[in-house]
């Protein structure tokens, strides 16, 4: 099984297959617009702009499960991200990333865990680096800023 086996919902309600991203390096992030880590959107957008032409994509999944820090509709969240942070990477419908109602993608992601790392999503801005084969190669904690792992992303892009 790989990330490409999952379907997710776009903000417009259309279901798409993550197989559309085959051969790309992905960063999957659960986000919130009213979180202390929300300023990471700036660094994520900078990373995306720098690396998108090399086959890099960021998949943004807003989530309101952590102290209701992603309030509002999908459209309102998108507007905040575009106007305040000028994000251009793909944002999907708001989802649950933990518990019984977690989307299948996130249930799979947390099982792709390296020994000793958290087996659930603990907070907003947990990040998963996916290689060109659709496999999780790294997981980054919410407090890990994108500039701390950009070199690791570049390594994957060279493969």
Catalytic residue (choose from 35, 63, 81, 111): 35
Collapsing DSSP to helix, strand or coil, 49 comes out as helix
CA angle centred on 56, ends 55 and 61, rounded to 5° = 140
Residue 35 designated active-site: yes
Name the residue with tokens 């051969």: 23
Enumerate the active-site residues.
35
């Amino acid at each position: 099984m790989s990330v490409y086996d999952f379907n997710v919902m776009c903000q417009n309600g259309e279901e798409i297959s993550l197989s559309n991203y085959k051969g790309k390096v992905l960063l999957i992030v659960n986000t919130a617009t009213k979180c202390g880590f929300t300023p990471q959107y700036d660094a994520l957008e900078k990373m995306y702009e720098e690396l998108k032409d090399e086959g890099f994509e960021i998949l943004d999944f807003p989530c309101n499960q952590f102290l209701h820090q992603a309030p509002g509709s999908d459209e309102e969240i998108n507007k905040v991200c575009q106007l305040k942070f000028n994000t251009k990477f793909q944002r999907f419908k708001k989802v649950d990333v933990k518990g019984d109602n977690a989307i299948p993608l996130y249930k799979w992601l947390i099982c792709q865990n390296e020994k000793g790392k958290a087996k659930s999503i603990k907070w907003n801005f947990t990040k998963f680096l996916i290689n060109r084969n659709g496999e999780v190669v790294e997981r980054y904690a919410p407090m890990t800023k994108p500039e701390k792992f950009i070199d690791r992303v570049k390594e994957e892009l060279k493969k």
